[in-house]
């Protein structure tokens, strides 16, 4: 006997489909197959694919920590938020493009943005610019999440021909650890926030 | 009569599949269907899906301009490269995750990286760090490309509840133009490069 359907069960099944087969594989038909039911019975629990996407968004956003914005300087808080955002999405790389290009209706996500924007504007950022800061830090995080989930041999010294000595030399001394992508993210996030601090002219921590 | 098969024709068909149906839809079977041939006949032209991915990579990278690295200061060149990189990928959003997580074997891509690393190390960056700079700027670009292809109503003031006044106010004054994502990218790229310049201590332009 299959367990009873519920929103939670459909959400878990939808996440599995996206994680295993990619975002395009998420259809109501594929979901019905995964939970072994008729397509029509899914609609007793969710209104359709759009709602499922917002449920998945809420599930990922639940892991992102915004608390620092109410206790720390904006630049420090932005860094902590970005790191927690990265970890949440690095577990679901196939969701990145889907969530980054689907209109946001999930209220928990909007509440998270509200908190970021509130802290940035209180720290002296103009209201319109605070949205640009939010967007560009998010873009940095999502692009970095893709780099972090990439296989370790993405850019392999052994694949670089001898005619490209600068790249061969640099790869030879790079940290060949699983942490190379994280180190690059740290370097970039630190630089990005330093540049934003310079632009804002606001006090740093 | 269908036109004769060639690598170029298979590359164009593969790009269409990915652009229209997503990266996961690219299989040798789907490609055979698209060009109206047997799967086996494809192997007279390409060795398989891995080679097709590298051909697609080369096609996108062909549009990225690295010339500034041989004529301008590293920070200015990095900005010009990033902007041209963004435009190349914004036309193929479904390729972003695929190319960002598949080991790079295409020589034109490696040659591009070699040029970036050569210029960065000549400007004083340590060899290992030059790879981190390359990776983090790429991550910033790819995340921003997703934001730029997102629909204009991604984050819509009308969808924000009244209990979230900071976000509502910020969205009300944000530029509601197709250029908002580009403006955020500009703000972020400028900040990122300013932060990298500060870190390197190298002369700016």
| pLDDT score at A158 | 87
Give the number of other Cβ atoms within 10 Å of residue B27's Cβ. Answer: 12
The candidate with the shortest Cα–Cα distance to A123, out of A75, A170, A67, is A75
| pLDDT score at A205 | 47
- C-beta atoms of B188 and A131 within 8 A: no
Give the separation between CA A103 and CA B62, rounded to whole angstroms: 32
Cβ-based contacts of A136 with chain B (< 8 Å) = 140, 144, 184-185, 187-189, 191
Residue pLDDT tens, chain A, 205 long: 667 899 999 999 999 999 999 898 999 999 999 999 999 999 999 999 999 999 999 999 999 999 999 999 999 999 999 999 999 999 999 999 899 889 999 999 999 999 999 999 999 999 989 999 999 999 999 999 999 988 888 888 888 999 999 999 999 887 555 568 899 999 999 999 999 999 987 554 4
CA of A38 to nearest chain B CA: how many angstroms apart? 24
In this prediction, residue B176 has a pLDDT band, given cuts at 50, 70 and 90, of low
Give the separation between CA B76 and CA B119, rounded to whole angstroms: 11
Model pLDDT for residues B53-110, shown as the tens digit of each residue: 999 999 999 999 999 999 999 999 999 999 999 999 999 999 998 998 899 999 999 9
Report the range of poorest mean pLDDT among B25-39, B113-127, B150-164.
B150-164
Which of A140, A166, A171 is the closest to B143 by Cβ? A140
Distance separating the N- and C-terminal Cα atoms of chain A:
58
Give the separation between CA A20 and CA B30, rounded to whole angstroms: 19
Identify which has the larger pLDDT, B197 or A149: B197
| pLDDT score at B205 | 47
Give the separation between CA A69 and CA A169, rounded to whole angstroms: 42
DSSP B45: T
CA of B1 to nearest chain A CA: how many angstroms apart? 32
| pLDDT score at A188 | 97
Given a contact cutoff of 8 angstroms between Cβ atoms, the answer to whether A129 and B183 are in contact is no
Name every residue whose Cβ is closer than 8 Å to that of residue A137 and which is 6 or more positions away in sequence. Answer: A78, A81, A82, A192, B188
Identify which has the larger pLDDT, B21 or B201: B21
- C-beta atoms of A140 and B139 within 8 A: yes
Which of B94, B121, B187 is the closest to A136 by Cβ? B187
| pLDDT score at B177 | 56
ipTM of the complex: 0.91
Give the separation between CA A137 and CA A18, rounded to whole angstroms: 24
Report the range of poorest mean pLDDT among A124-138, A139-153, B122-136, B165-179.
B165-179
Q: Which residues in chain B (17-36) have CB-CB distances under 8 A to chain A?
A: 21-25
Percentage of chain B beyond pLDDT 90 is 79
Name every residue whose Cβ is closer than 8 Å to that of residue B83 and which is 6 or more positions away in sequence. Answer: B189
| pLDDT score at A150 | 87
Give the separation between CA A157 and CA B128, rounded to whole angstroms: 12
φ/ψ (deg, to 5) at A63:
-90, -5
What is the pTM for the complete model shown?
A: 0.92
- Please indicate if any CB of chain A lies within 8 Å of the CB of B155: yes
Residues in chain B: 205
DSSP B69: G
- Please indicate if any CB of chain A lies within 8 Å of the CB of B94: yes
């Amino acid at each position: 006997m299959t367990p009873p359907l519920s929103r939670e069960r459909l959400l878990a099944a939808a996440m599995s489909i996206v994680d295993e087969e990619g975002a395009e594989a998420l259809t109501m038909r594929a979901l019905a197959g995964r939970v072994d039911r008729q397509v029509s019975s899914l609609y007793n629990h969710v209104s359709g694919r759009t709602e499922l996407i917002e449920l998945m968004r809420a599930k990922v956003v639940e892991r992102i920590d915004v608390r620092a914005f109410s206790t720390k300087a904006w630049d420090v808080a932005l860094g902590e938020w970005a790191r927690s955002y990265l970890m949440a999405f690095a577990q679901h790389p196939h969701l990145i493009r889907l969530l980054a290009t689907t209109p946001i209706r999930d209220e928990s996500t909007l509440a998270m943005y509200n908190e970021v924007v509130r802290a940035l504007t209180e720290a002296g950022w103009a209201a319109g610019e605070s949205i640009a800061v939010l967007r560009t830090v998010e873009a940095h995080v999502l692009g970095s999440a893709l780099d972090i989930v990439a296989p370790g041999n993405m850019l392999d010294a052994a694949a670089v021909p001898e005619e490209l000595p600068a790249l061969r030399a640099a790869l030879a001394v790079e940290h060949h650890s699983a942490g190379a992508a994280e180190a690059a993210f740290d370097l970039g996030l630190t630089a990005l926030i330093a540049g934003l601090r310079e632009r804002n002219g606001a006090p740093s921590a």
